[in-house]
Amino acid sequence: MDLFDQGGEAGTGGPEPHQPLAARLRPRTLEDIVGQDHILGSGKLLRRAIEADRLGSIILYGPPGCGKTTLAEVIANVTRRRFVRTSGVLANVAILRGHLEAAAGLRKTQNLETILFIDEIHRFNKAQQDVLLPYVESGTITLIGATTHNPFFFINTPLTSRSQIFQLEPLSEEAVMVLLRRALTHGEGLAHIRIRADDEALLHLAKVCEGDARRALNALEIAGLTTRAGEDGAVHLTKAVAEESIQKKAVVYDHDEDGHYDTISAFIKSVRGSDPNAALYWLAKMLYAGEDPRFVARRLVILASEDIGNADPRGLTLAVSAMEAVEFVGMPEARIILAQATTYLACAPKSNASYLGVEEAMGDIKEGRTLPVPRPLRSTGSKRAAQAFGHKGYKYAHEFPEHFVDQEYVPTSKIYYHPTDQGYEETIKRRVEHLQELRKKSRKQEKEKSEPAG
């Protein structure tokens, strides 16, 4: 069995002719790998561990086609340990226990270490992941997990804490171009077809694949195998042919997984960062992928208070109006409403002073600083109840100059709201400072009245 046989050990045989181009050209050494220099460059920790065969349990996290399985196969080729592969899609607890018990037996009887590679490890549920834990902890196996999903969300904390996590990035256009040109001349690639590829054709494949090397190589193979050769016996790969061989990319956007959370995060952070262009792009991606526009509208309502607040009080009004309009109108026209709200909020002045204030106050309450309501502010209920419980002395603000009166509203002098000088909040800040001066003046007068004359 080779590396790709379910539940089997890695073999040393080469690729088979019927395999897709991406599988046939999969690197066999670290030197053959293109990209991922941030973890595989000279002197990097992961590279040193692989070359020294001192690899501990790791989790490889990255998008499709970035080289997770490739890296696992390279490890299989250079390691002196037994290498076994399984999959989160096909394996179950019984299969896992079989691999784990076999590894334990070989370690005990032959002092042979085992690397267990689990592709799509995020597919395992908690019970399946828990089966691995004691074997990883004891060193019976070295785990290599591969996942397209954030391991901190989809893999148990005890397992991630015992593994090093390496994030692989989508391949750059330059890296994909290297792989495409390699495929045209490689003996196990497309050298036998004689393809004359225009640079703009290869560049189109490199751009449209969005860092997915597998997709680019498979498109190149389709183009080579299906395009009729010219009079010179060579296949001419033009940009038009490349466009036909690689169709529109499905947007990576799983509604309950990373694509969803990462994109809405980028959207909110772009609005918060006052970049309407970036915000519109992420909005378009979400709507294109079929995101519920009501979800986007709700997030804008939250943002209008959290990140804009009193710097532009109209932001919340507009966001709420947009949410109601989206509900009433629906798609596809709702995209126009969301675009208006998005651009307004992105360009609005920003302040999170209100948000920070309530968070600080809630923190004080959580830590036990629960303060009593001052007697004058308590509900009077009936006049009799007010007299019985001493709930009196409240000063009605509208009866005083500037509709303001200094009295104790909370038994602490701590300040929670610190208005900024952004937008309308600058006006509020001046008002707060003015009220503070009135308060000081009032307290000074009260002090002077209480002091004995002479």
* Rounded Cα distance, 85 and 1, in Å: 10
Give CA 57 to chain center in angstroms.
Answer: 23
Token pair belonging to 413:
């002098």
* C-beta of residue 165 within 8 angstroms of C-beta of residue 151: yes
Q: What pairs with residue 115 in β-bridges?
A: 83, 142
Instruction: Give the contacts of 140 (CB within 8 A, at least 6 positions apart).
Output: 100, 103, 104, 107, 114, 134
Domains 173-245 and 258-347 are alike in CATH topology: no
Q: Can you give the pLDDT at residue 279? A: 93
Token pair belonging to 205:
């494949």
Select 258-347's CATH number: 1.20.272.10, 1.20.1050.10, 1.10.3720.10, 1.10.1520.10: 1.20.272.10
* Rounded Cα distance, 205 and 194, in Å: 18
| 269: DSSP letter | H
- pLDDT tens for the 454 residues of the chain, in order: 333 344 455 544 555 657 888 888 888 889 889 989 999 998 899 999 888 888 899 999 988 888 898 898 888 888 878 889 899 888 888 889 999 999 999 999 998 889 999 999 998 988 889 999 999 998 899 999 999 888 888 898 989 999 999 999 989 999 999 999 999 998 888 888 888 999 999 999 998 888 889 989 999 999 888 888 888 888 898 988 888 888 655 566 655 566 778 889 999 999 999 999 999 999 999 888 888 899 999 999 999 999 999 999 999 999 999 999 998 888 889 999 999 999 999 999 999 999 999 998 888 888 876 788 887 877 665 555 555 555 567 787 888 888 887 887 788 888 888 988 998 889 988 988 888 888 888 888 777 777 666 5
* Rounded Cα distance, 66 and 252, in Å: 14
Burial class (CB in 10 A: 0-12, 13-18, 19+), 5: exposed
Sorted by where each begins, the domain ranges of the chain are 21-167, 173-245, 258-347
Q: Can you give the pLDDT at residue 234? A: 84
Q: Can you give the pLDDT at residue 4? A: 36
Note the pTM of the prediction, 2 decimals: 0.59
HEC string of 93-130 equals HHHHHHHHHHHHHHHHHHCCCEEEEEECHHHCCHHHHH
CATH superfamily placement of domain 21-167 = P-loop containing nucleotide triphosphate hydrolases (3.40.50.300)
Token pair belonging to 128:
């399946």
* Rounded Cα distance, 117 and 421, in Å: 56
Q: What pairs with residue 87 in β-bridges?
A: 119
For 74-103, letters b (16+ CB in 10 Å) and e give bbbeebebbbbbbbbeebeeeebeebbebb
Nearest to 226 by CA among 193, 184, 269: 193
Where does 173-245 sit in CATH, by number? 1.10.8.60
Token pair belonging to 150:
């954030």
